[in-house]
Every structure is written in structure tokens, then in C-alpha cells.
Structure 1
Amino acid sequence: MHLRLIVPCDRTDLIVKALVGDDRATNIVVLPGAAKRPAGDVVHCDVTREATSDILAQLKADGIYEDGAVALSAVDASPSRNAWETEQAAPGAPDDAVVWDAVVDQGYSEARGSWAFYAFLTLATVIAAVAVITDSAILVVGAMVVGPEFGVVAALALGIALRKGGLTWRALTLLAKGFLLAIALTVVAALVARAVGWIDASDVTAARPLTGFIWRPDKWSAVVAVLAGCAGVLSQTAGRSNALVGVFISVTTVPAAGDLALSLAVWAPQQIGGSAAQLGINLAGMTCAGVATLVLQRVLWAWLTKRRTPTAAAGLAADPRG
């Protein structure tokens, strides 16, 4: 991980000395007086992923979070010898390390909401509705991939696991508002399509061998939701974002929302309850699995870091955002 720090001038020597003395840090560069807002010295360094939480905890204890600035970014490749030696100084595997500050910051970012979130969720729900009408498994997969909801579900799980009430409420509110808006707009689109004769109730109630599972949840719906929740949270905490595509394709949240909207528009009451249940099972399953995964990671990582250094646990200090 690459760290860019803005350090008050009176603390630069202390911070730099600590970094130089840590075998898990390298490529340390100091630019005296380069920062203007906030004012201070700029310090660049690369640290192993396993050591990032330790070093961030010390920076937090030294007041850099309040009086300076910290920015993190992943280093995709560092083929130099000194980087290899630095990595060898840190016990464990990089993918097993959790940079909690980065995970929490990402959670707040996901729960903030934006017009793009509402737009993608609505488009995905409309695509899912078309998939129901045409009984197209390909369109179901497309709707799953377009849907942006998992990041917010992960933020909700993070808020519950770390007892951050503000984050939990933001994520829960965004999920509720997002799905309500997406379903409402899809209902309107379906009513227009019904009015012009493009669809009728038989398109929803007829046998759908490829998409009928959407409104018929069973025990496997819960199993897949739990497994997807675990995989999604692990992919985010381990920095493996490419694995999220598989999670998107696994869960039936957006397809269920599309089926629910279409069933409301053409009034197919026998499918409304099933679609709503499928949506609820998937959201609840992913959230519960995400909470369990995060709690387990937190306990295991705290135990591992406690064996290495007494400052590791400080990385989970209270966040000022709630």
C-alpha cells in the first residue's frame, strides 16, 4: 500500500523516524514544506498490506488524522528488491490483512448515495422486468451485473459489525429508497407498456422455465445469498474487487425487484409475495453473512496483530462519523 501523508512540521521527524525504523516500510520520501492545505511536510512511503493497519493506528495516535492528512492507494506491482525484502519482513499473507480504515472509508462512500446509484439500480430493475417478460436468462444475468446494490449491503453489514450507527442508518435508508424508487419507476414503465398493448398479465403468469425461480424462493435462495455475502465482503476486505462480478451474478435482488414491479403493474398477486420474499431473503442473507464474516475477520486479525505488536488494536478506534 502507498501512503501519502501530510504531517505537521513539528512531528515530521518523529513520524519519519518511526517509518525508517519499521522493516515493513520502504520507499520513504520527505518533501519539507510542500503541503499548503493543510500546511505541513509531505511524506510518501510504501508499506506492506499486513502492516498498514499498524502504521495507520500509530498515525492516528500521533494526531495526523486530525492535524494532517492521510491518503492510501494500492500498489499493483513493485518489482524492486527492497520491496521484496520489505514484504518478507511482514508475517502472513497480504490477502489476509484487513486495512480497516480503508474498508470503513469505502463503506461511507458506498452509503453516501448518488444519482448514478439510483440510475443504475432503476435500469437494472427495468432490464430484469424485460427478462421476466421474455423469459430470458441472459437478461437476468445482465440485470444482476448492472445492479449496484451490493456495495450498500456491504456498508450495512460493516456498520452493524463495527457498531457504527450512522453508517448502518445511511446504508439501510439508501437501500430502502433505492429499491422503492427503482420498483416505482419500473411499475410506471410497465403500466405504459401495458397501456400500449406490449404486455399483459399472461406474460407474467405464464410458465417461465428460465426465470420462474425469481418469484419462487426456496432454501437454496438463502444458501446462495449467505455464500454470496461472505464472498463479497471477503473480496472487498482483501482488495479483490474482480471477485465481486461473481457475487453480482449470484444474488437475485434486482431480478426479484423487477418481477415484483411487473407483477404489481399487471396485478399478478400470486407472484407479488414470492418476489418480495426473494428480495427480502437475498438482502437479509447477504447482510447477515457479511456481518458474520466481518466479525470473524476482526477477531482473527486482532488476535494476529496482538501477537505482533501492541498498537495493532488501535486501528479500530471510534470513527468521528458515527
Structure 2
Amino acid sequence: MLHLRLITPSGQTEDAVRLIEKTVGTTHLCVLTGAARDPAGDVVLCDVARESADDLLSGLKNLNLDTTGSIAVENVDLSLSDRADRAEKEAPGEGADAVLWEQLTEATHEESTLSVTYLAFLTLATMIAACGVVLDNAILIVGAMAVGPEFGPLAGISTAAVQRKPRLALRSLTALLVGFAAAIVLTVLFSLFMDAVGLFTQRQLKGERPQTGFVYAPDWFSFVVAVLAGAAGTLSLTSAKSGALVGVAISVTTVPAAANAAVALSYGDTTQTWGSTEQLLLNLLGITLAGTLTLLTQKHLWRLRRV
């Protein structure tokens, strides 16, 4: 179940209440007349089954409540109510299959913002991966994958493509390209420093690396894994199964490939630099393509189920 808290101008309260009452899967409706102060108006509270929420939110936006008032949505972790159980049974479809497009757009918008924190996480992840590729240490590679925040912009691009939101697509693409460019440049400097103090050597980079050699040797398996991971990551976002994102993060070689490209570039190794860049681009393409197709499929299947 989801909990909605609305602030409505007094002249629009009845319209909002009627919309909630006729939406299948809603319950626990409360109207607090004159309770709101900023903006002034009434407060309307209700619970709605997840599978009915997207239609209700669209209807409320059509009433311009997002402009004249406020619409807030929260997850209900526990609801001990027969009415809530009945509302969920009456709502069409399954809650796990429903996509809240407004929530998805908001989440990807936040995750795809080019911020200092985003750049810091991506740079630190790339530097950790740089240590992993030089030492041929798979544990460091996995740790770097888990730290990397790059799935947010990738999901933003997929969401923007399906929702036809060019502004979100531009924001996400900017965060992705600028983020990786900055991370690679800073990791090149980090690699030069580590070489100067004797912790990195070119011999380590060019030697046998059975644990991490894959990061500069792209093949079809890399693309297949990226596609599968992109689909799984998108499903985890739309179904609120955020724990699955950790598994997605450690299954693709975006950050390790960028790290290997940076270290190789610091030593002038163009072969590994180009191979790592190909691996990075292949993974980014696979994740974005899979994410977009997954969202399109979910949208189509949900329409068919409702019909």
C-alpha cells in the first residue's frame, strides 16, 4: 500500500475526493478541512494499492494539484486493516508488477544529477578499481563495482526515452559522460602518483592478470551480461526491490573498465586503453538498451492486463 497526503485548495477538495472515491483500490480516506497553512487549503489523506496509484496520481495531476497544492506519496511498510487488504484485492493486477512512473522519473532525476557527491563516489570507485586491476585483485574490483553510482544516469536515460523527457535524458547523459571523464582524468593523476611512490608499476599492468584481464578484452559475453544486468536493475527500480541493485552493480564492468583505461593511459599503453574503452562503451550500451526495452515491455504488459 501507498499513503497519499494531499494539500488541496478548498475549491478543488471535492474534485480530489470524488477522484479518490471512484478509484478502485483506495481506502482510509480522511479530509481535514482548513488544516493546511502553506499553501492554504484542506488536507486529504488516503491509502491506495500500488497497482492503482499511477492512475490516481495522473488524475490528481490533471486537477493541477501539483501546482496549486501538494501531492506526497509514502510507502506503507505495515497496514493492519481489513479495508486495506480488501482494497489491494480489488485493485487490478499485482502491486509488484505496477510501475509508478512519477516515482521512477523523480528517483532517476535525483540519481542522475551531476553533483559533487556523485563525482566523488564515481572517482573513488574508479580509483579503488585501479588498485584492483594493478594488483589483479578481484575483491577490490567487486568493491569498486558496488561503490559506483553510474546506474542512476543509465536508468535516467532509459526512463527519459520511454517517457519522452528530453530534459531528463540530457541531464542523465551529461552526468554519465562528464562523470566518467572526470573520474578517468583524476584516476590517471592517481596512477601517476602511485607509480611515483613505487606502488604501481607498468610491469604489473602488462603482466598476466587472470582475475582482471577481462576488463580490457570485450566480447559478446560482456554485452550479454550487461543486457541482463540492465534488465534486472530496471526491474529492481520499478518494483522497489532496491537490494537487487547491488547484484546488478557487481555484474557489469563499467567502473573497472574505466579504471583500467586510466591506468593504461598513464603508462601510454594504447592497446589496453582502447580495449578498456570498448568494454566500457559496450556495457553502457547494453545496460541502456536493456533498461529501455524492459520499461517498454512493462508499460505494454500493464496496459494489456488492465484491458
- The TM-score range, normalised by the shorter chain, is over 0.9
Q: How does 1:55-204 map to 2 (within 5 A)?
A: 55-204=56-205
**Corresponding residue for 1:206?**
207
Q: State the 1:122 CA deviation.
A: 0.4
Q: CA RMSD in A?
A: 1.3
Q: How does 1:209-248 map to 2 (within 5 A)?
A: 209-248=210-249
- Whether contact under 8 Å (2:129, 2:255) holds in the other structure is yes
**Secondary structure of 2:77's match?**
coil
**Secondary structure of 2:199's match?**
coil
**Secondary structure of 1:241's match?**
coil
**Secondary structure of 1:5's match?**
strand
Name the amino acid aligned to 2:126: T
Q: How does 1:253-272 map to 2 (within 5 A)?
A: 253-272=254-273
**Secondary structure of 1:78's match?**
coil
CA–CA distance in structure 1, aligned partners of residues 96 and 262 of structure 2:
40
**Corresponding residue for 1:3?**
4
Give structure 2 stretches of 5+ with no counterpart: none
Give structure 1 stretches of 5+ with no counterpart: 308-322
CA–CA distance in structure 1, aligned partners of residues 163 and 17 of structure 2:
31
Name the amino acid aligned to 1:79: L
CA–CA distance in structure 2, aligned partners of residues 238 and 23 of structure 1:
20
Name the amino acid aligned to 1:176: L
**Secondary structure of 1:234's match?**
helix
- Whether contact under 8 Å (2:24, 2:52) holds in the other structure is no
- Whether contact under 8 Å (2:136, 2:211) holds in the other structure is yes
Name the amino acid aligned to 1:94: G
The worse-fitting range, judged by mean Cα deviation, of 124-133 and 66-75 is: 66-75
TM-score (norm 1): 0.92
**Corresponding residue for 2:282?**
281
CA–CA distance in structure 2, aligned partners of residues 258 and 291 of structure 1:
27
CA–CA distance in structure 1, aligned partners of residues 199 and 236 of structure 2:
41
CA–CA distance in structure 2, aligned partners of residues 67 and 203 of structure 1:
62
CA–CA distance in structure 1, aligned partners of residues 21 and 263 of structure 2:
62
Q: State the 1:77 CA deviation.
A: 2.0
1:212-261 per-position Cα deviation (integer Å, ceiling 9, x unaligned): 11111111000000001111111111111111111001110001011111
**Secondary structure of 1:112's match?**
coil
Name the amino acid aligned to 1:248: A
**Corresponding residue for 2:291?**
290
Q: How does 1:292-311 map to 2 (within 5 A)?
A: 292-305=293-306, 307=307
CA–CA distance in structure 1, aligned partners of residues 170 and 271 of structure 2:
32
Q: How does 1:45-60 map to 2 (within 5 A)?
A: 45-60=46-61
1:57-103 per-position Cα deviation (integer Å, ceiling 9, x unaligned): 21122221221111111112213221111111112111011111111
**Corresponding residue for 1:20?**
21
TM-score (norm 2): 0.96
Q: State the 1:182 CA deviation.
A: 0.6
Corresponding pairs, count: 306
CA–CA distance in structure 2, aligned partners of residues 39 and 113 of structure 1:
35
Q: State the 1:296 CA deviation.
A: 1.4
CA–CA distance in structure 2, aligned partners of residues 148 and 138 of structure 1:
18
- Whether contact under 8 Å (1:194, 1:266) holds in the other structure is no
1:94-146 per-position Cα deviation (integer Å, ceiling 9, x unaligned): 10111111111112212222211100000000000000111111111000000
CA–CA distance in structure 1, aligned partners of residues 151 and 23 of structure 2:
37
Quote the sequence identity (%): 47
**Secondary structure of 1:9's match?**
coil
**Secondary structure of 1:198's match?**
coil
- Whether contact under 8 Å (1:107, 1:152) holds in the other structure is yes
